[in-house]
Amino acid sequence: MTTRDIVLTALFAAIVVVLGLLPPITLAFIPVPITAQSMGVMLAGCILGARRAMLAYALFVLLVVIGLPVLSGGRGGLAILQGPTGGYIVGWILGAFVTGLIAERLVREGQSELRQIAGFATAAIVGGIGVVYLLGIPWLSAVTGTPLGAALIGNLAFIPGDLVKAAVATLAARAVLAGYPLLHQRA
């Protein structure tokens, strides 16, 4: 790992902390808030690639575990990971990795802008939504005692917002690739 990789990893962990400054939106029917930090999974994966994105989110989750109030709403501590949102937060690490892996495979310099956008969108949706939900929903179900089907249905309310986050991440990643193509040299 180069100094550049370490700097980019730490920088993205800091960006995720800043995304947490935006207040969470809580829905009455599910104990999981809507936060901007989940968009960071998509941004990190698409912009940094699999390895650096995973490390950025691992660093971020470590900050949560040691008790720093870096989650949206000023939350932090090991108890958060044991609560209903714990599966989503841990899922961010794997989601960032998968997002980055897909982006690395599908997006290349020299492709048409449309192909790059399609690749980034696929990466953001599969990794940033699919993988995170794959870990978060069963955890939510187990911790709250809610049947898995009910937890799944409750999460449907988050899909439109997550698709908007995926669109924003896709456009941001495409802009970074166009404006600073050397960033996409993988570690």
Predicted pLDDT of residue 181? 65
User: Residue-wise over 134-152: b if at least 16 C-beta within 10 A, else e?
Assistant: ebbbebbbebbebeeeebe
How many whole angstroms separate alpha carbon 26 and alpha carbon 183?
35
Tally Cβ neighbours within 10 Å of residue 82. Answer: 11
Whether 133 shows a pLDDT value over 70: the answer reads yes
Mean pLDDT for 68-72 is: 92
Is the predicted pLDDT of residue 187 greater than 80, yes or no?
no
Band of residue 127 on the pLDDT scale cut at 50, 70, 90: very high
Q: 4-8, 134-138, 167-171: which has the minimum mean pLDDT? A: 4-8
Residue 183: the pLDDT is 60
d(CA 123, CA 129): 9
Helix (H, G, I), strand (E, B) or coil at 34: strand
The single-letter code of the amino acid at 132 is V
Domain boundaries, the chain: 3-184
Give the predicted TM-score (pTM) of the model: 0.91
Are the C-beta atoms of 172 and 118 separated by less than 8 Å? no
pLDDT mean over 124-152? 96
**CATH assignment, 3-184:** 1.10.1760.20
